[in-house]
Structure 1
Amino acid sequence: MFEFAWPWIFLLAPLPWLLRRLLPPAPSGEAALRVSFLAELEGLAGQRARSQLPGWRRQLRFVVLWLLLLLAAARPQWVGEPLPVPTSGRDLLLAVDVSGSMDYADMRWEGEEVSRLTLVKRLLGDFVEGRQGDRVGLILFGSQAYLQAPLTFDRRTVRTWLDEAVVGIAGKNTAIGDAIGLALKRLRLRPAQSRVLVLVTDGANTGGELEPMTAARLAAEEGVRIYTIGIGADPRQAPFSSLTFGAGLDLDEPTLRAIAERTGGEYFRARDRDELRAIGATLDRLEPVEQAPTQARPAVPLYPWPLAAALLLSLILTVHGAWPRLLLELPQRRFRRRP
């Protein structure tokens, strides 16, 4: 179906005529000879100068040009048939710890030792892109919690923000309670059965203003299910360099497990990539909530056609207006004597 996105643009159609009527004529800057009896001379000749067209015919080309510009500005488009938009799914926020300890290289990926945050990016990135029909958002937290990406169907952009996260960007400490509180602010307005928070951390709560269990109680009251993931290798399996910094020793598993149980979620211990992938399988078992169905109609823009026609007509008028002058100047340039 053909339609205009901005049909009110056509109200500007009489604008050139109004400007011509209201504004004074611009001075030409050239000397002119005024002849009071020019009309009598034309009457004696019986005709007007043949070089001038009637007024309406001279202005017609500019009227067409103006209408073409208005047509392009009104944004003509061809609107297709309604297509369903996937709105049956979950509202899922991913809260990732980016404190200093996430830089410990005690995880393994394809035979290489990688940092904890690197493993989270590689595995949870695929998990985010696979949430077809879900709104996904991203929270990064350290000493403070920040909303990096709001809830959106654009899962690829969320993965890009996750891939670009760096250790220490939100501070060196771990504010688990503040991360949960920020997630509640974003999820509380969504349908009650679709609110999910996935919390990934490798330590205990060492920062922020909100206690984790207090935040978990508020989450339970708001119907937000929290799936907690404790990441980090066992101390006996971690490299010696990581043991020096206490890798795997600071993880507060009892608190993470209590948060998950209080909100109806589950706790996962991610010692390697296989255990980290278990969270995706569990979330896939959740029943999606039917939300209000919506439809979208694809629109194909057509404004380039009248815009191109206006450009072409402008070029034709420019060349046509300059051509007689060039013909008159050509003989003068050819036979002009050099000094």
Structure 2
Amino acid sequence: MLSFAYPWVLALIALPLLANARKRPAPAVEAPVLPTGHWLSDLPGVSRSGSRNSLLKQLLLLLIWILLVTALARPQYVGEQVQLPVTGRDLLLAVDISPSMDEQDMVVQGRSINRLQAVKRVLHDFIERRQGDRLGLLLFGTEPYIQAPLTFDLNTVRTLLDESGIGMAGRATAIGDAIGLAIKRLRDRPQQQRVVILLTDGANTAGEIPPDKAAEIAKAAGVRIYTIGIGAESMIQRGLLGSRRVNPSRDLDEGLLTRMAQQTGGQYFRARSLPELEQIYQSIDQLEPIELEGKRYRPVTELYVWPAGLAVLIWLAWQLGRALILARANGARREEADNG
């Protein structure tokens, strides 16, 4: 529906009418309309269309005034009531980007890709389904850092994840420091909403905070940690002396990841392939939804630019018309002077 933010401003429309009503009207002398070229038309004060021009000017000024006052009243179109989806969760994704994530043991459509590429593919859909949640992105290697703070802007989180690269945070894996930074970011949020999803393919090899101590601090702070260990358990490695079967996940510390998850009330998942990783995120997608009363709002479209713009266009057209008439009159005078 159409409404005005400041409807009382519309009372100003009557000001010009009140001002004209208070003026004492001067005695009007009706003059005949003179034909073009009449000898009286050149006398000072005599105009063939003066009264008509004056009336047109007053009407244009009144119209411009009405349009400007209408714009000042801020006309708005108020749409139908919309309910925002709210689940009330703050999810912080902690992704390992150490060099071991470059291991190409994930397969998609018959083609091998590295672990970080697999994580990005799966997280795209996961992020897309986070409507109503605030999502953050933490990347870690030797050092952890916040790539995207907690936000409802899911497109930005997805873009920043795509821009992350192997080795950007160093060549080691500081799991404990990553959890410590995550706790720092989540500690001011409501206790029922603090969730960390940690994804790594190795063991803790760097950092100042031991992972078990970080898990203890997380439990005290009410932060739940869901851990994911990524990496195939078997793959064929080709060399100069032939092929051999190796375990590319031999450095994965599953015991540590399991303890951290259990201690904080979370869960440990093992992703040996891309389909398993997809299934894990589908499971996490359903974890602990906290349904809150949805916020309602009515979308408002501001319309004041239309009357304001129309007033400006009318004023410019009027000034342009006056300039053309004056230019034509000056040209006619010069032509008469030249002929005379």
Q: TM-score range by the shorter chain?
A: 0.7 to 0.9
Q: Which residue of 1 is the match for residue 292 of structure 2? A: 291
What corresponds to 1:237 in structure 2? 235
Shift, 1:116, TM fit? 0.8
| Letter aligned with residue 301 of structure 2 | V
Deviations 1:122-149 (A, max 9, x none): 0121122123433222212222222222
For residues 240 and 71 of structure 1, what CA distance do their matches in structure 2 show? 77
Whether 1:280 aligns to 2:281 is: yes
State the match for 2:174 in structure 1.
Answer: 175
| Separation of aligned partners in 1, 2:192 and 2:280 | 18
Residue 284 of structure 1, CA deviation: 3.8
Question: TM-score, structure 2 length as denominator?
Answer: 0.74
Contact 1:106 1:239 (8 Å CA) reproduced: no
The 5-angstrom pairing of residues 68-83 of structure 1 reads 68=67, 72=71, 75-83=74-82
**Mapped pair 1:303 → 2:304:** yes
1:251 aligned residue: 252
Mean CA deviation greater in 191-200 or 202-211 = 202-211
Deviation at 1:55, TM superposition (A): 11
Aligned 1:154-169 pairs, distance under 5 A: 154-169=153-168
Q: Which region of structure 1 is more displaced relative to structure 2, 147-156 or 251-260?
A: 147-156
2:210 is the counterpart of 1:211 = yes
Bigger radius of gyration: 2
Shift in alpha-carbon separation, 1:161–1:145, aligned structure 2, 3 A: same
Q: For 1:100 and 1:67, how far apart are their aligned partners in 2?
A: 68
- Structure 1 residues 316 and 268: alpha-carbon distance in aligned structure 2, compared to 1, 3 A threshold: same
Per-residue CA deviations over 1:10-54 (Å, capped at 9, x if unaligned) read 7xx9xxxxxxxxxxxxxxxxxxxxxxxxxxxxxxxxx99467899
Query: What is the alpha-carbon distance in structure 2 between the residues aligned to residue 188 and residue 114 of structure 1?
Result: 36
Match of 1:124 in 2: 123
Contact 2:175 2:211 in 1 (8 A): yes
- Given that 2:235 and 2:247 are in contact with CA atoms closer than 8 Å, whether structure 1 keeps it comes out as no
1:44-193 matches, within 5 Å, as: 49=45, 65=64, 68=67, 72=71, 75-193=74-192
Decide whether the 8 Å contact of 1:90 with 1:134 is kept in 2: yes
CA drift of 1:93 comes to 1.4
Residue segments in structure 2 that go unaligned for 5+ positions in a row: 13-30, 32-43
SS in 1 for 2:260: helix
Aligned residue in 2 for 1:36: none
Provide TM-score, normalisation by structure 1.
0.74
Q: Is the 8 A contact 1:134 1:153 kept in 2?
A: yes
Q: 1:220 to 1:318 in 2, by over 3 A?
A: same
Q: 1:311-326, aligned counterparts within 5 Å?
A: 311-326=312-327
Aligned pair in 2 of structure 1 residues 72, 183: CA closer, same or farther (>3 Å)? farther
Work out the CA distance in 2 between the residues paired with 1:314 and 1:169: 59
Q: Secondary structure at the match of 2:315?
A: helix
Q: Secondary structure at the match of 1:239?
A: strand
RMSD: 3.7
The question of whether the paired residues in 1 share the 8 Å contact of 2:271 and 2:280 is answered with no
Residue 305 to residue 122, structure 1, CA distance change in 2 (3 Å): same
CA-CA distance at 1:165 after TM superposition: 1.7
8 Å contact from structure 2 (residues 86, 131) kept in 1: no
- SS state of the match for residue 151, structure 1? strand
Q: Which runs of 5+ in 1 are unaligned?
A: 14-46
User: In 2, Cα distance between the equivalents of 1:196 and 1:113?
Assistant: 31
The Cα shift of 1:272 comes to: 0.6
AA partner of residue 235 (structure 2): Q
Following the alignment from structure 1 to structure 2, what is the Cα–Cα distance between the partners of residues 95 and 75?
A: 46
Asked if structure 2 preserves the Cα contact closer than 8 Å seen for 1:177 and 1:205, the reply is yes
Quick one: distance in 2 between partners of 1:157 and 1:174? 25
Q: Name the count of aligned residue pairs.
A: 301
Aligned-pair CA distance for 1:213:
1.5
